[in-house]
Amino acid sequence: MRDLLAALAELRERLKEIPQADERRLPDVKTEILGRKAGALTRILGQVPQLDPASRKEVGGAANALKREFEAAFDARERALKHAAAAVSGVDLTLPGRAAWRGGLHLITQVVDEICDIFRELGFTRAVGPEAETEWYNFGALNFPKDHPAIDAQDSFYLDGGYLLRTHTSPVQVRTMEQYRPPIRVVSPGQCYRRDPFDPSHSPVFEQIEGLVVDEGVSFVDLKATLSAWARRFFGAETRTRFSPSYFPFTEPSADMQATCAVCRGAGCPTCKHTGWIEILGSGMVHPAVLDNCKIDSERYTGFAFGMGPARIAMARHGIPDIRLFFESDVQFLAQFADVAGGAR
Ligand code: PHE
C-alpha cells in the first residue's frame, strides 16, 4: 500500500508537464498516464481491488482524485492549443460556413422564357433573326416610307455596308413570312439597339419579344383575346387589359395594350404613376402592304402582330424603379430574383 501511495505522489509530479506539452507531445503524455491498458494511473487503479478494505479506501480515494486532476489538466491544455491554432491561422472556427453561390438565370432571361412558354401553350413557336439587319428588313419591308419621321423615332446605330443594328424585333416578322406560308404563329425574343440615353427608363440595348399570327380569318378579336389571355396568365387571373389607338407603319389599325398594375392591383402606386395601369405592348393588324412585301396574298390572309419589352414588364411586375439595375453586376439585386427552383445552370 505504501508503494502505491508513493507511486501516486510521484505520478502527481507529472501534472507539471501538461501545460508545457505541445500538440504532438500531449496525446502521448495522456496515453502514458490515462491509457486504458498501460497507463500508469490506470495500472494503480487496477490494483486497488486486491487491497484490504482500509487500504482500498485510502488508495482508491487518492487515485481517483488524482485521475480527476489529470483529466481537468488535459482538457484545459487541449482547449488552449486549439485556440492558439485558430488565432495563428486567423480563422474563427466558431463562425458558420458560407454556402457556395451557384449562379442562376438573369431576371430578364427568366421573364423571356416565361412569356414564350405561355405563348407556346397558345400554339406559338420561337423564331430568331439577326441583330445586324438591312434597312429593308428593319424599315422598308415593314412599310416605313423612306424619310418618314417614324424612322427618326427609332434612331439607329448604322454599320458599314448598308447594315444597322436592328431597332426592333419586327424584321423577324418579314423573315418568317418569307420563309413560311400561313398559318403562322411565332414569338421572337431578341436584343435590339437604339440611340437612346441610358436613363431610368431607357437603355440603348434592350430585349424585345415580337409576336406574329397570320392565317385566314384572323381578326382584331383574336388579337385582343390572345393578348388578354397571355396577360392573365403572366400577371394573374384578376388582371384586366385595355387597348388604345396607336400608330405603327406596319400595322393598321394599331393599338397599345395596358394591363392593371401588378404591384398595386390597380389601386395606384409609384410603379404605375398612380394611374392603376401599366403600358405593356404595342400591337395591331398586319398592314396589307407588309403581307404583299412578303408575297402573302393580302386578299386571302390577315394577321396580327405585337411587340413587348421584357425589361419593362419585369419592372412592372416587381416594382423595379430603374432599368439600369439590370445591367449592373450587383449580385445582391440579382440574387433577389435567383432562379432557385430551376436549379443552378
Ligand atoms: N416594333 C414596335 C416597336 O418596337 C412594336 C410593335 C411590334 C408594334 C409589332 C406592333 C406590332 O415599337
Indicate whether residue 283 lines ligand 1 (CB < 6 A). Answer: yes
Q: Which CATH number do you get for residue 297?
A: 3.30.930.10
The total of other beta-carbon atoms located within 10 Å of residue 11's CB is 18
341 assigned to some structural domain: no
Residue 343 is assigned to a structural domain of this protein: no
CA distance 100 to 114: 27
| Ligand 1: residue whose CA is nearest its atom 5 | 307
Residues 74 and 202 grouped into a single domain? no
Residue type at position 289: A
Same-domain status, 84 and 138: no
Whether residues 115 and 70 share a domain: the answer is: no
- pLDDT, position 344: 39
Distance between Cα 53 and ligand 1 center (Å): 104
Do 245 and 207 belong to one domain? yes
Domain final residue pick, 67, 94, 121: 94
Residue 65 and residue 125 share a domain: no
Q: With respect to residue 167, please indicate whether it lies within any of the assigned structural domains.
A: yes
**Number of the ligand 1 atom closest to the C-alpha atom of 168:** 4
Is 131 part of a structural domain of the chain?
Answer: yes
Task: Using the 3D structure, point to which of 59, 94, 129 is the last residue of a domain.
Answer: 94
Regarding whether 66 and 213 lie in a shared domain, the answer is no
Record the cell numbers describing residue 142, joined without a space: 415593314
**166 C-alpha to center of ligand 1: Å?**
12
The pLDDT value given to residue 337:
87
CB 212 within 8 A of CB 186: yes
| Domain hosting residue 42, numbered range | 2-94
Looking at residue 341, what is its pLDDT? 44
Instruction: Dig out the grid coordinates for 59 from the structure.
Output: 488508495
CA distance 126 to 136: 23
Looking at the structure of the chain, the number of domains it has is: 2
The verdict on residue 100 lying in a domain is no
The SS3 of residue 185 is: strand
Same domain? 78 vs 152: no
Alpha carbon of 154 to ligand 1 centroid (Å)? 11
Closest atom, ligand 1, to C-alpha of 208: 4
Let me know if residue 257 belongs to a domain.
yes
> Does residue 102 belong to any structural domain of this protein?
no
The CB of 305 under 6 Å from ligand 1? The reply is yes
Cβ within 8 Å of residue 166, ≥6 positions away = 129, 130, 131, 132, 133, 137, 138, 190, 192, 193
Looking at the domain assignment, is residue 101 inside a domain? no
User: Does 168 sit in the ligand 1 pocket, CB within 6 Å?
Assistant: yes
pLDDT tens string, the chain, 345 residues long: the values are 788 899 999 999 999 999 999 989 999 999 999 999 899 999 999 999 999 998 999 999 999 999 999 999 999 999 988 888 877 777 777 788 887 777 789 999 999 999 999 999 999 999 999 999 999 999 999 999 887 777 777 778 999 988 999 999 999 999 999 999 999 999 999 999 999 999 998 999 999 999 999 999 999 999 999 999 999 999 999 999 999 999 999 999 999 999 999 889 889 998 899 999 999 999 999 999 999 999 999 999 999 999 999 999 999 999 899 999 999 878 888 888 876 544 433
142 CA from centroid of ligand 1 (Å): 10
* Distance from Cα 141 to the centre of ligand 1, integer Å: 14
Does 176 lie in the same domain as 41? Answer: no
173, 249: one domain: yes
The predicted structure's pLDDT at residue 230:
97
- Cα(141)–Cα(176) distance, integer angstroms: 12
Do 324 and 247 belong together in one domain?
yes
Note whether 62 and 112 are same-domain residues. no
Q: Tell which of 46, 71, 94 closes a domain.
A: 94
144, 261: one domain: yes
Alpha helices in the chain (DSSP H): 2-12, 25-34, 40-47, 53-89, 107-121, 135-138, 149-152, 171-179, 220-235, 288-293, 310-318, 331-335
* Cβ-count burial 68-97 (b if 16+ within 10 Å, e if not): eebeebbeebbeeeeeeeeeeeeeeeeeee
Q: What is the pTM of this model?
A: 0.71
